[in-house]
Amino acid sequence: MRFTLHKPTNLTPIPIDCGACNKCCKGNTLVVITENDRQDFYVTQTYKLPDGRVVEALQFQANGDCFYLIDGKCSIHGEHPLVCQAFNCMAEFCHYSRQERRLLIKQGMLSADVLDEGRKRLQQK
Ligand code: SF4
Ligand code: SF4
């Protein structure tokens, strides 16, 4: 299975109006549970990243959607992990150079779909 890593540039929430978009809740995107999350609240699993690191992250459904994505919506909104609360695809797009984005997508560490969403939203601003 190929993973991408849900990886905000920091854990300070940057507001974004996602509307009906849920691209970063799909595609085997790893949501890593941090030490500041409620450890016993989430359904998690241990995963090995393409770079060899081992992390505890939310489980997936069989289709690669997040365990908590139900009927296209986050079923634990308000209680979703800090990584989800802080994630902003526009900030993620800006954080990397074009070369870094290409490399990280190839390595399975970033999602092309999510970066495309970030690019699109930046162009609409
Ligand atoms: S990809 Fe961007 S707009 Fe879509 S849900 Fe994620 S953060 Fe929101
Ligand atoms: S916990 Fe909610 S916001 Fe986070 S990836 Fe899963 S469905 Fe999306």
Q: What is the pLDDT along the chain (125 residues), one digit of tens a residue?
A: 445 565 555 656 677 899 999 999 998 888 989 888 998 999 999 988 777 888 899 999 999 999 999 999 999 999 999 889 888 899 889 989 999 999 988 887 788 999 999 999 999 98
Give the pTM: 0.87
The string of DSSP codes covering 55-106 is EEEE-B-TTS-BTTEETTEETTTTTS-HHHHH--HHHHHHHS-HHHHHHHHH
Asked whether 84 lines ligand 2 (CB < 6 A), one says: yes
pLDDT at 2: 45
Domain that residue 80 falls in:
4-88
Q: Is residue 12 part of a domain?
A: yes
Q: Is residue 32 part of a domain?
A: yes
Q: Which residues pair with 57 in a beta bridge?
A: 32, 45
- Of all protein residues, the one whose alpha carbon is nearest to atom 5 of ligand 1 is 22
CA distance 59 to 1: 13
Q: How many domains in the chain?
A: 1
Q: Is residue 17 part of a domain?
A: yes
Q: Is residue 118 part of a domain?
A: no
